[in-house]
Amino acid sequence: MKTIKGPAIFLAQFMGDDAPYNSLDSICQWVASLGYKGVQIPTWDGRCIDLQKAADSKDYCDEIKGVVESHGLQITELSTHLQGQLVAVAPAYNDMFDAFAPAEVHGKPAERTEWAKQQLRNAAKASQHMGLTSHATFSGALIWQTMYPWPQRPEGLVDAAFTELGKRWLPLLDAFEDAGVDVCYEIHPGEDLHDGVTFEMFLDKVNGHKRANILYDPSHFVLQVLDYVQFIDIYHERIKMFHVKDAEFNPTGRVGVYGGYQGWNERAGRFRSLGDGQVDFKSIFSKLSQHDFDGWAVLEWECCIKSPEQGATEGAPFIQSHIIDVTEKTFDDFAGGEADINLLNRIMGL
């Protein structure tokens, strides 16, 4: 067994225009003061990193690493969640997702897709320059709008969609293979890869590509009423990243899984700060340790009630308290001994 690394923190939800959240240097100083040991960096935020420059220059990547390491931190992974989303976008979402891309490709879906693909290639090179082995992203979605099949989905639509999704991602997975980096898809509602079955369907379309892996975040499974502990048993060989995020699901006679178009406060399923929700993190950390996960435990803060500052402050000790220093001994070793074939035969009556 292996010991999980951490605590670490995903910077995306904390970046802002005011100090200490407005530069990589100042936010690293802040999170280090809270007890974090690693940072996951959103590549779409220029206050953190210039992704094109990172892809082109190892010297620049060394500078970024130097800033982070000057505060006693490590870079855990880079993230292209927003760019990955744009690798595959259904027409119904074109206008809303344009905001994730530069203005010059707004209203141009094909050009936006090519821009997103290049962003992923840049992320592969940047990760390689930084000596990282995993990368966080979304798969995008071509048929999420048909998730609830009414009207009935046309025959063959699902297979066609996953064939196209695989076609778009396979060259990108090859680019990450060349860089020696795993692509970790956050299994997430809104993506075509939103549960175990859809991940398996995608894996089939990319020929079981070894770089196609999972960013495990139990909060999204709570909101789907999916067994998030058993998920680890099934997919542990593909789980290469871990977002530590809490959630709760409290259905009523008025609202359930789909949320009734309500804001986050009024939904049955809500994201919460660590320890305020229903996720059984003791079981999760035990399962991941049992299955030799030795990646980072990364706080992703999203909560409809508590402030991000309080969530971050409470998050580091919460994660630290759940990390298991795995044993190298078996508890009953003291009662054992060397194998004695004569003894074994006597026990069996042989």
Name, in order, each residue with C-beta under 8 angstroms of 11's C-beta and a sequence gap of 6 or more. 27, 31, 39, 40, 41, 42, 45, 48
Per residue in 58-116, pLDDT (tens digit) is 999 999 999 999 999 999 999 999 999 999 999 999 999 999 999 999 999 999 999 99
* Inter-residue contact 19 to 328 (CB < 8 Å): no
CA distance 287 to 242: 12
Question: pLDDT value at position 335?
Answer: 58
Where are the strands (E) in the chain, listed by range? 5-10, 38-42, 74-80, 134-137, 182-186, 212-216, 239-244, 246-249, 269-272, 296-299
* Inter-residue contact 142 to 161 (CB < 8 Å): yes
Structural domain of 317:
5-347
* Inter-residue contact 113 to 168 (CB < 8 Å): yes
Sign of the CA dihedral with 172 first, then 238, 137, and 289 last: negative
The two three-digit tokens of residue 238, written as one number = 């593909």
- Phi, psi torsion values for 41, nearest 5 degrees: -105, 125
The two three-digit tokens of residue 251, written as one number = 């259905």
Amino acid letter, 12: A
CA distance 43 to 127: 11
What integer is the mean pLDDT of 223-239?
98
What integer is the mean pLDDT of 50-59?
98
The two three-digit tokens of residue 154, written as one number = 């046309």
Query: What percentage of the chain has pLDDT greater than the value 70?
Result: 97
Question: pLDDT value at position 338?
Answer: 77
Angle between helices 196-205 and 157-179 (to 10 degrees): 70
**What is the pairing mode between strands 212-216 and 74-80?**
unpaired
Three-class DSSP category at 11: coil
Question: pLDDT value at position 330?
Answer: 64
Please give the model's pTM, rounded to 2 decimal places: 0.94
Domain count, the chain: 1
What integer is the mean pLDDT of 195-219?
98
What integer is the mean pLDDT of 139-165?
97
Residue 168 exposure: Cα atoms within 13 Å on the Cβ side: 25
CA distance 168 to 86: 11
Q: The domain spanning residue 233 has which CATH number?
A: 3.20.20.150
